[in-house]
Structure 1
Amino acid sequence: MIKLVMCVRRRPEMSRKEFQEYWRTHHGPLFQRFASAYKARRYVQSHTIDTPLNEDVRRSRGMSQEYDGVAEIWWESEEDFVDAISSAEGQRPRSVFLDDEAKFIDFSQSAAFFTQEHVLVKENG
């Protein structure tokens, strides 16, 4: 499995609440509609919460400001991802996603990269 991780920041004219609402209630369902054509195995949005803990962690490590959220999309393999974005069926959702993301994501302040997960602690139970 491979995973695309997107650390996203909102467009400057949006509040965090507006950004997260749009992301969850509009973009999320949009992705769900095309997930099978995109060969995505899993899609998760993690929304940053407003808590003083963010500032404490950031300051204690000398880190930059937090992102507004993180998106994770899994594929079975790199080949599945390449096949999905190369196929006619996968081209349409890719452009739909990019057009929609431009409405709420500040691309210049965000980051995206592929990863392979290494689970070091599993939940008990």
Structure 2
Amino acid sequence: MLGEHIVIKLVYCIAKRDDVDLADFYRIWLEEHGPLVKSLASDLQAVKYVQSHTILPQVNQMFKGARDGLGDPFEGITEVWWESEEDLTQALQTPEGLRAAARLVEDESRIIDFAKSRVFMTEEHTIF
């Protein structure tokens, strides 16, 4: 289960496909993709999954204006936590984990522009 210190986290900065309506994107991501991720969590040994949907466009524009060269915001981010690097590595070496990962990529391809999105692994350092 989720402990006090989670060692590893995937951060996925998501840009929607141009041919997907914004309202449809958020609905599909939250109501269809989210439950799919939850159903596959044990196969991936993931202990937490969070979607953060972008809001407050006027504030986002203010941030962009104050930082020369800053690009447009992503539609949101996904975060997925594992208790350890070993849990993640082990999950991606099992047939169930590999099937789950492939199923998620397949589902994401319906709404996410992979070329404009970014995904990377992180280690959290809580400041406050």
Consecutive aligned runs of 4 or more in structure 1 exceeding 3 Å deviation: none
SS at match of 1:36: helix
The answer for unaligned runs of 5 or more in structure 1 is none
Q: Which residue of 1 aligns with 2:36?
A: 30
User: Alpha-carbon deviation of 1:88?
Assistant: 1.2
CA–CA distance in 2 between the matches of 1:79 and 1:103?
A: 30
SS at match of 1:46: strand
CA–CA distance in 2 between the matches of 1:50 and 1:18?
A: 18
Counterpart amino acid of residue 41 in structure 2: A
- What does 1:1-125 correspond to in 2, within 5 Å? 1-62=7-68, 63-121=70-128
Q: What is the CA RMSD across the aligned residues, in angstroms?
A: 0.9
Q: Work out the percentage of aligned pairs sharing the same amino acid.
A: 39
| TM-score, normalised by the number of residues in structure 2 | 0.91
User: Alpha-carbon deviation of 1:27?
Assistant: 0.3
| TM-score, normalised by the number of residues in structure 1 | 0.93
SS at match of 2:28: helix
Counterpart amino acid of residue 55 in structure 1: Q
The answer for unaligned runs of 5 or more in structure 2 is 1-6
